A and B are shown apart, each in its own frame.
Chain A
């Protein structure tokens, strides 16, 4: 049977592609702004929020999106940069993950035999088992995130590389930083469905790092980052269809291989230039 004849494969290509598009674009700025740690930490929030949503009788996605956006706004309000903020974020997020462990044990005892599969699917994603509603939500939010990001891309680039001049030229720094955090949060929440809360790096950070190794032109870099993210998701799905390995493993694995290759390429080009 052909791959695209199966509904769950079509869903995975559709939602996975849209989510990857957003993750690649947002990830480019996450790497540029040195906010990799924040993005990772938001994955922890997504885990706890998802379980909390289910426990509270809401659905998983509502919990994931709600908690990520609330926390992003709180970080935005905190403001600041650098070490002090990283320490504050790390401390809070370790606690959030602890709360997630509590939720997981509550959930497991409540459903007795129903076990921890929910926790596992939040942690590692279940792109081949998406519900129709999840496909719609994932695709639409992915596209919406990408559109909003492209609308703010130029002032955000200015603010990220040269904040003082950007502020003097009238870039609204606080509002833009807060909006960007919300976009990161929404992207993390989307990605949880595809690759899970633990593997968000594979979609948000690795493609962007590869892109920045390959090009120092910002607009080319953004396009590359988005293209690579979509490519690894689709390729991962194709391989997963033929080989019985988890899709999230294949997606993050492909991204990792590309990352190593891009480092090599950068080394080589530097040696080439020196020669």
Chain B
């Protein structure tokens, strides 16, 4: 397999509302890697994804995707934003949302296209949402909406997936099923996956690399290298303990203090 740089951040820093979110971020992700992005609330995980989408410009440094500087609107990245639910009154079919992921940014009207309809149907089938694809999106449950949105992120056949908490609001069985689906897309099509999660356990078996965002900095490496008591304590700047349960699950405890440690607070 050819190893190519899929994502590269050099000395990157992001600033929102005049506040530095993270600084001095150096990060490299290879093509086809499955990357978990972890960290406490408000640490800047979503901001990291928005930076590589070109939605949040960097305050410093550079970010390259597949060797090129990022620009908003690249169709090489499929994006699933962190969600609030859709308005219950939104009277648009779920399948139309998936279709917008295919060509929604183009000007003009949508003309009937059997090829595109098939492509959309294939994705809806893949995420197991066929049963409710014709219902209005606002009427669907949180987990059903999430599956539709995963289909939307996949449908354009992007080389990279930026998924912000895709397992949120899924039950345990569905967390398992969706993570396996994402893994198989990653493996069979060589798609690079960046997945933000709060619980690493459902995806732990698939993860090639962990990116941990905390305390205004970012740390990356293999799961067993990063998710260790000493490493995380140094990153957080407060005592953190990593526990391994008897069934092989990882639990990070001790991050009870509000996360107020930011690089500009010094």
Chain A residues proximal to chain B, CB less than 8 Å? 32, 34, 150-155, 157-158, 161-162, 164-171, 212-213, 216-219, 221
Contacts and interface: CB of A to CB of B under 8 A. Distances in A.
A167 B55 contact: yes
B107 A217 contact: no
Given A161-B92, A161-B97, A165-B79, A154 B108 contact: yes
Contacts of A158: 100, 104-105
Chain A binding surface SS class: helix
Contacts, number: 92
B72 A154 contact: no
Interface residues of B, number: 37
A225 to B, nearest CB: 12
B3 interface: no
Contacts of B106: 154-155
B104 A157 contact: yes
Nearest to B153: A165
A164 B81 contact: yes
Contacts of B135: 216
A212 B87 CA distance: 14
A169 B104 contact: yes
A169 B106 CA distance: 10
Given A165-B79, A168-B55, A170-B73, A151 B108 contact: yes
Chain B binding surface SS class: loop
Contact of B152 (A153, A155, A165, A219): A165
Given A170-B72, A218-B96, A154 B81 contact: no
14 contacts: A34-B87, A154-B104, A154-B107, A155-B105, A155-B107, A158-B100, A161-B90, A161-B137, A165-B101, A168-B50, A168-B79, A169-B75, A169-B79, A219-B109
Interface string B73-106: 1110101110000110011110011001101111
B136 A216 contact: yes
B109 A153 contact: yes
Given A168-B53, A169-B73, A218-B92, A150 B108 contact: yes
B110 interface: yes
A158 B136 CA distance: 15
Contacts of A168: 50, 53-55, 72-73, 77, 79, 81
Contact of B91 (A151, A169, A216): A216
